[in-house]
Amino acid sequence: MTRWTQEDLDRMRALREMRVRKETALTKVNAEKRSKYGNTRVVVDGIKFDSKREAAIWNELTLRQKAGEIHDLQRQVPFPLHCPVRFESINGFAEVANFVADFVWVDRDGTRHVADCKGGKGTITKEFRLKARHLALQEGIQIEILR
């Protein structure tokens, strides 16, 4: 049978206190949580962006809008994704998900662009591909990937 040292007792007291405060050992050490894909959230002109790349693309698009190359620039535009429902007396469509496009704008010639900012190959997830296909079939919209 081993005896507990003073160090063991202090560690157990600290863990008990953390449980009382509903903390974990990781929250105490890592107060700032790292992003899943390594992006750094930034604020530019009072607007919050999920990454530095997204902020840079927004700045470029706003400059293009001021120059008159594009118009109706929007960000974080939701597109509802529907599926047909046939259940007893119900015939229609149900919203099953949403795709939120990072940027939407219209060119001089009237072409509507729907774009999403992506980092590397790892950020193009199965969920993104599925929603992009669903949007293409439902609305005929092809999502442009900006890198």
Q: Give the pLDDT of the chain (147 residues) as one tens digit per residue.
A: 577 788 877 887 877 777 777 655 444 444 456 676 777 888 888 888 888 888 889 999 999 999 999 999 999 999 999 888 877 666 778 888 899 999 999 999 999 999 998 877 767 889 989 999 999 998 888 998 888
Question: What is the distance between the alpha carbons of residues 23 and 15, in angstroms, rounded to a whole number?
Answer: 9
What's the rounded Cα separation, in Å, for the pair 85 and 14? 55
Quote the pTM value.
0.68
- CA-CA distance, 98 to 124, in Å (whole number)? 16
- Asked if residues 75 and 103 have their Cβ atoms less than 8 Å apart, the reply is yes
Specify whether the CB–CB gap between 74 and 105 falls below 8 A.
yes
90-107 sheet: strands from edge to edge: 70-87, 90-107, 112-117, 143-146
